[in-house]
Amino acid sequence: MANKETMAIRGGRILDPGRGVDLVGDVLIREGRIAAVGPGVAAEAGRIIDAAGLIVCPGLIDIHCHLRDPGFEHKETIETGTRAAARGGFTTICCMPNTEPPIDSRAGVEYILRTAAAQGAVRVLPIGCITRGRQGKELAEMGELAEASAVGFSDDGSPVADAALMRHALEYASAFGLPVIEHCEEPSLSHEGVMHEGWVANRLGLRGIPAAAEEAAVARNIALAEFAGTHLHVAHVSTAGSVKLVRAAKKRGVQVTAEVTPHHLALTDEAVMLAAPVPSGVEGADGSIGLMYDTNAKVNPPLRPAADVQACIEGLADGTIDAIATDHAPHAIEDKLCEFDLAAFGISGLETALGLCLTLTEDVGAHGHAPPHPGHAPLQMIIERLTAGPVRALGLARFVPGLGSLAEGAPGDVLVFDPEAEWVVEPERFASKGKNTPLAGRTLRGRVVATIYGGKVVYQA
Amino acid sequence: MVQRATRGKPAEEVRPPEGVDIPTWERRHVLDLDDFSRREMEQVIETADAMKEVLSREIRRVPTLRGTIVATLFYETSTRTRSSFELAAKALGADVVSVAAGASSVQKGESLVDSARTLQAIGADILVMRHRHSGAPYLVAGHVDISVINAGDGWHAHPTQALLDAYTIQQHLGDLRGKKVVIVGDILHSRVARSNIWGLTTMGVQVVLCGPPTLLPWGLRPDHRGNENRALPPVEVDTNLDRAIEGADVVMALRLQLERQQAGLLPSLREYMRLYQVDEERLARAKPSVLVMHPGPINEGIELSPAVAHGARSVIEEQVTNGVAVRMALLYLLAKGR
């Protein structure tokens, strides 16, 4: 009879954009790996998932998230973060090293891998530090980090301010064939800024972060990568100028890749001042208290105006931007329930990423939050940037052959989702400890039905 | 006539001015003037006039708000605004509770929301707050059931200052419509400027902002990308004071924080004074009836020349007196209007 080691996902629309697959059929998983894909390939199996009317694609890959573990376990742990990933449709996530202590040693990488193996719902690939202690002073022991299986280097939220050190990091990392992932920000320009410098910041009396703070750093780091001839990955691109710089660099052959977050694709800086629902009993005569300072929309890089959002969407569509990455940044309630200037930067994004990205495939004008953009982004493109794109960007296939695809022999990591189902974002139901999202109460379309990791169902709606 | 019938013996009342229909006041909080209608502005000004009469009495005190507790929560030092509110509350017979950051649990890690809720729990009816971070009063207003008055938040808003400015201008010049008010100085970091832009434009004033480009907010200069001024009502902007001051009805100078020079926004105070100080020569370009205003405290000899600050056209001291009347008016409207 049916093998207990097999699983069949039957009758769905199979999208494997990395390999140009778009067909209706079955996916057969045997012993944790993809065994076959096509019409009628899974007549019998130990477990059968009916995917009629649903999309079946490789499990999503997030190359930029924060698991807060070790050091900030009240915000997130490897266990809760990976459950959030599973709930969001992700089967592989790369975690940033801005923990306490930072992941700048073999022990740190091993801690992540060991804990993920024991408690994690999905695959975790750690990113190590560029500099010791993320201090921006001397290089971390990248060789040891690489041996321990770090998949790249980043100081994450602490940009490497010293240009010479950045040059050396790019050069040194190339010995291990690993990318340097840089949060591009010129600190003297973003100095104490809390949101995008534009009319909303002026309206709210908040200190701005100019687009030029990102663009100056992107330009510098591209110049350094071009000079060094090594791989720079630009984290969370957010401005039109950055997209232009990356596009031009790629055109002249610089080894540069880039990612963008779902929130930078779908929200503008106006989200900071959109009136949120007011608890009953405190509303003024007009039903609101007027302007809002939504700390849940405080994120770095900041949400930008519609023209920048549009440029990011275009960059994503034309391949300038290789991947969508969540920059999942969970925080405790007290980190956000405070003055805007004092609130932590970050959005808890793993569980809304798919729904938010799918807003790009519909007419989003009606939803209010998203900026207008012409035409619809094709579903295939969006899924590509969440699967094959990120694997290509960081070269993850060398760590996990077949990752991000449904090729025979690839990991049995599969996402089944309903592209039409609408659901309301309810942060209190997040698996993540971080309930910090500006999307609370918003209706999104596209619901995860099942997340399968290594042939096992790790989340089912 | 308004008086508290429920307690004590009949007391002297404060008489609402002609045409002031108290029950139409439905606002719970005063956070900024961005959502004030012209009618509401007028209502505050008319009520302030009645309050000014109280302040001119021999005994400057009425029991109108007896039993009302006004709490002041100041996270930023401020002598004038705070004492103005406290005098206003006391003149109306209210009890005043003062909490200053540094003298309370504010320093012990208590969150802003908790501090505000504590004041609500001890019975405060109206919370007057000053905070160095923009938006702090909005956070509080979203988490308490009592009224919140913003006594200044960061760079964002200072609605009571802007109301007293409008009141002062109206007392001297009558109808504000069509008047030209030049606000000169550090617009970028000024909550006074932002609230005045809202309040004055609502009253029909032509507002001109003047200052060095480094002290003007993004989007108010024509060379900014997109040239969007969706932040604020339409205003004129001029970096040249000699030109901006031409024919002005009011010149309002803003306080210059002396650290702007260290931050690289200004080459020197000397140059600032040369280009942006309101002195007699420049003032001569304005209307003969021009009013000189300043929210205080003044850096003597920097924003205004001493002759202008203390000269015949200066109404700076009157602004301070009017501040008490306007704050009385707001406390009264918030306590009695609902």
Nearest to B138 among A281, A286, A292 (CB): A292
Band of pLDDT at residue A403, cut at 50, 70 and 90: very high
Mean pLDDT of A291-319: 94
For residue B261, the model assigns a pLDDT of 84
E-state strands within chain B: 69-74, 95-100, 126-131, 147-153, 180-184, 206-210, 236-238, 250-253, 291-293
Task: Read off the pLDDT of residues A107-118 as tens digits, 9 standing for 90 and up.
Answer: 999 999 999 999
B9 by Cβ neighbours in 10 Å (0-12 / 13-18 / 19+) ranks as exposed
pLDDT at res. B223: 56
Q: Does A333 touch chain B (CB under 8 A)?
A: no
Q: Which helix (H) or strand (E) holds A64?
A: strand A60-65
Residue A376 has pLDDT above 80, yes or no: no
d(CA B338, CA B334): 7
Q: What is the pLDDT of residue A280?
A: 36
Mean pLDDT of B32-54: 94
Q: What is B269-303 written as a DSSP string?
A: HHHHHHHH-B-HHHHTTS-TT-EEE--S---TTTS
Q: Does A195 touch chain B (CB under 8 A)?
A: no
Contact with chain B for residue A260, Cβ under 8 A: no
Enumerate long-range contacts of B5-9, CB under 8 Å, 24 or more apart: B7/B66, B7/B67, B8/B63, B8/B66
Q: What residues of chain A lie within 8 A of the CB of B219, using their CB?
A: 198-199, 202
CB B114, CB B93: distance < 8 Å? no
A199 and chain B: CB distance < 8 Å anywhere?
yes
Asked if B31 is an interface residue toward chain A (Cβ–Cβ < 8 A), one would say yes
More confident residue, B224 or B287: B287
Question: pLDDT tens-digit profile of A330-361?
Answer: 999 999 999 999 999 999 999 999 999 999 98
What is the token pair recorded at B152?
């200044």
CA distance A87 to A72: 21
Extract the tokens encoding A295: 């700390």
Mean pLDDT calculated for residue range B6-18: 47
pLDDT value of residue B221: 66
Chain A interface mutation, best of B138, B150, B228, highest count of A Cβ atoms under 10 Å: B138
Distances (CA, A) of B149 to A290, B21, B122: 14, 21, 18
**A275 close contact with B: CB closer than 8 A:** no
The predicted pLDDT at position B22 comes to: 55
Residues 6+ apart with CB under 8 A from A303: A195, A196, A238, A263, A264, A267, A268, A269, A271, A272, A297
Which residues of chain B does A297 touch, with a Cβ-Cβ cutoff of 8 Å?
none
* pLDDT on residue B26: 86
- By the CB < 8 Å criterion, does B131 face chain A? yes
Please, what are the domains in chain A? 59-406+436-442 (3.20.20.140)
3-state secondary structure of A100: coil
Mean pLDDT, chain B, integer: 89
Distance between A97 CA and the closest CA of chain B, angstroms? 28
Residues A44-64 pLDDT 10s: 788 999 999 999 999 999 999
pLDDT at A440 over 60: yes
Q: Cα dihedral sign for A153, A159, A165, A166?
A: positive
Whole-number pLDDT of residue B337: 77
Q: What is the pLDDT of residues B104-132, one digit of tens each?
A: 555 567 889 999 999 999 999 999 999 99
Candidates A199, A310, A334, A341: best to mutate against B (most CBs of B within 10 A) is: A199
Task: Return the structure tokens found at B18.
Answer: 């002609």
In CATH, what number does B160-315 get? 3.40.50.1370
* Element spanning B161, H or E: helix B159-173
Mean pLDDT of A419-431: 96
Among B34, B54, B33, smallest CA distance to B44 is for B33
Amino acid B229: pLDDT: 57
* Residues of A whose CB is below 8 A from B139: 293, 337-340
Instruction: Write the burial class of residue B140 (CB in 10 Å: 0-12 exposed, 13-18 middle, 19+ buried).
Output: buried
pLDDT at residue number B100: 80
CB contacts < 8 A, A to B, total: 102
For chain B, the first-to-last Cα distance in angstroms comes to: 16
Q: Is A156 among the catalytic positions?
A: no
Check if the beta carbon of residue A459 is closer than 8 Å to that of residue A86.
yes
CA angle A195, A197, A203 (to 5 degrees): 85
| Nearest chain A residue to B264, by CA | A188
| B154, two tokens | 């960061």
Write the pLDDT tens digit of every residue in A120-130.
999 999 999 99
CB-based contact B112 A338, cutoff 8 Å: yes
Instruction: Classify residue B179 by burial, with Cβ atoms within 10 Å: 0-12, 13-18, 19+.
Output: buried
Partner residues linked to A55 by β-bridges: A13, A417
What residues of chain A lie within 8 A of the CB of B230, using their CB? 199, 203
The verdict on whether omega for the bond into residue B137 sits within 30 degrees of 0, i.e. cis, is no
How far apart CA B256 and CA B260 sit, in angstroms, is 8
Distance of CA B11 to the CA centre of its chain: 31
Q: In which band, very low, low, confident or very high, does the pLDDT at B247 lie, cut at 50, 70 and 90?
A: very high
Structure confidence at residue A46 (pLDDT): 86
Cα separation, B273 vs B256, in Å, equals 11
Chain-chain contact of A290 with B35 (C-beta, under 8 angstroms): yes
Model confidence at A187: pLDDT above 50 = yes
The predicted-structure confidence for A199-255, as pLDDT tens digits, reads as follows 889 999 999 999 999 999 999 999 999 999 999 999 999 999 999 999 999 999 999
Structure tokens at B171: 């007392």
Residues of chain B above pLDDT 90, percent? 77
Rounded to two decimals, what is the model's pTM? 0.92
* pLDDT-based confidence at residue B305 (cuts at 50, 70, 90): very high
List of residues 6+ apart from B291 with CB closer than 8 A: B168, B169, B172, B173, B249, B250, B251, B313, B314, B315
Mutation target to probe the B interface, by most B beta carbons within 10 A, among A200, A282, A304 is: A282
Residue A364 pLDDT:
41
Q: Of A294, A327, A413, A418, which is the active-site residue?
A: A327
Confidence of residue B87 (pLDDT cuts 50, 70, 90): very high
In chain B, residues under CATH classification 3.40.50.1370 are 22-158+321-336, 160-315
Two tokens, residue A294: 């939504």
What local confidence, expressed as pLDDT, does residue A156 receive? 92
DSSP assignment, residue A269? G
A368 pLDDT more than 70: no
Evaluate if residue B308 carries a pLDDT over 60.
Answer: yes
Using the predicted structure, report yes or no on whether residue B173 has a pLDDT greater than 90. yes
Nearest 5°: CA angle at A23, between A18 and A27? 80
Question: Measured between alpha carbons, how far is A109 from A97 in angstroms, rounded to an integer?
Answer: 9
pLDDT on residue A76: 98
The answer to whether B302 and B269 have CB atoms below 8 angstroms apart is yes
Q: What is the mean pLDDT of the segment spanning A313-336? A: 97
Report the pLDDT value the prediction gives residue A377, as an integer from 0 to 100.
77
Chain B residue with Cα closest to A341? B133
| 8 Å CB contact of B139 and A284 | no
Alpha carbon of A336: minimum distance to chain B alpha carbons (Å): 11
User: Using CA atoms, how far apart are residues B114 and A399, in angstroms rounded to an integer?
Assistant: 49
Which residues of chain A are within 8 Å of residue B221 when distances are taken between CB atoms? none
- Chain B closest CA to A279's CA: distance in Å? 8
- State the pLDDT confidence band at A1, using cuts at 50, 70 and 90: very low
What are the DSSP calls for A165-189, one per residue? HHHHHHHHHGGGT--EEE----HHH
Q: Is B101 helix (H, G, I), strand (E, B) or coil?
A: coil
User: What ipTM score was computed for the predicted complex, to two decimals?
Assistant: 0.90
Total number of residues shown for chain A: 461
Percent of chain A scoring above 70 in pLDDT:
92
Does residue B134 sit at the A interface (CB-CB below 8 Å)? yes
Q: Which fold has domain B22-158+321-336?
A: Rossmann fold (3.40.50)
Query: Which two tokens mark A429?
Result: 């139901």
As a whole number of angstroms, the distance between CA B106 and CA B128 comes to 16
Worst-scoring range by mean pLDDT, A81-85, A392-396, B17-21, B145-149?
Answer: B17-21
pLDDT average, residue stretch A443-455: 96
